[in-house]
């Protein structure tokens, strides 16, 4: 078993982060939540983490003066907190070169579609599900992948399918995929903690 020292990045609610923190508290995941960083100081994710006793930081180009300075601050905050793995939970900013270099191969993101379809710049939130429905897909889902310099591009770690049902609206599909994501992320991290290495996709 490997205890995972996790750092989180979130922009809004951080639903996967909340599920992971819950799994740690319930002894279902061998991990420690070291810090939660948000680019939005009012993010509910930061409020949740603070209430759980997890250190929080608001770091953005606005707080640091520039995007490169924010990147350096994020990297330092993770290093100073003893973070080994970075989890992106609805973080809507592109990571900078310092953080990417320091944690390459250890930054995990979840995307609300089955990559490589329906990914890339601008493909987030409702836009993803609109595209899935417009394409006439019968299956959607979630993808956990490593993060690199391109949006939704890094190596796929695992995927979980979610059906697209007849008559689905964008809201219907979005809610179904969102419901699957948090437990899926916990399962992947549990596999990582158990084996000490990232699982290979089936």
CATH number at residue 51: 3.40.50.170
Q: Does 148 map to a domain?
A: yes
27: in domain: yes
Number of domains observed in the structure of the chain: 1
Phi, psi for 122 (deg, rounded to 5): 85, -5
Residue 46 resides in a domain? yes
Tens-place pLDDT, residues 21-74:
999 999 789 999 999 999 999 999 999 999 999 999 999 999 999 999 999 999
Q: Look at residue 173 and tell me if it is in a domain.
A: no
pLDDT digits (tens, 9 = 90+) for 127-184: 999 999 999 999 999 999 999 998 888 999 999 999 999 999 999 999 999 999 999 9
Task: Enter the tokens of residue 152.
Answer: 């939704």
Spatial distance between the Cα atoms of 50 and 53, rounded to a whole number of angstroms: 5
Residue 129 annotated among the catalytic residues of the structure: no
pLDDT of residue 200: 66
Measure the CA–CA gap between 151 and 172, rounded to whole angstroms.
Answer: 25
- Which one of the listed residues 111, 129, 138, 153 is annotated catalytic? 111
Is residue 131, in this structure, part of any structural domain at all?
no
Is the predicted pLDDT of residue 199 greater than 80, yes or no?
no
Residue 172 lies inside a defined structural domain of this protein? no
The answer to the question of residue 134 being in a domain is: no
């Amino acid at each position: 078993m490997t205890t995972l020292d996790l750092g989180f990045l979130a922009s809004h609610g951080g639903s996967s982060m909340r599920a992971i923190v819950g799994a740690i508290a319930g002894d279902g995941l061998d991990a420690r939540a070291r810090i939660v960083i948000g680019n939005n100081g009012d993010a509910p994710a930061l409020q949740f983490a603070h209430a759980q006793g997890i250190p929080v930081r608001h770091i953005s180009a606005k707080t640091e003066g520039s995007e490169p300075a924010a990147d350096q601050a994020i990297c330092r905050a993770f290093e100073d907190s003893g973070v080994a793995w970075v989890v992106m939970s609805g973080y809507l900013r592109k990571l900078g070169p310092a953080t990417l270099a320091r944690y390459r191969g250890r930054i995990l993101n979840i995307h609300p579609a089955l990559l490589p379809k329906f990914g890339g710049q601008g493909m987030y939130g409702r836009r993803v599900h609109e595209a899935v429905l417009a394409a006439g897909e019968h299956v959607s889902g979630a993808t956990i992948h490593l993060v690199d310099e391109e949006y939704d591009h890094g190596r796929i770690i695992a995927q979980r399918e979610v059906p697209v049902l007849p008559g689905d609206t964008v809201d219907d599909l979005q809610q179904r995929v969102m419901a699957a994501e948090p437990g899926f992320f916990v399962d992947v991290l549990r596999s990582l903690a158990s084996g000490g290495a990232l699982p290979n996709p089936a």
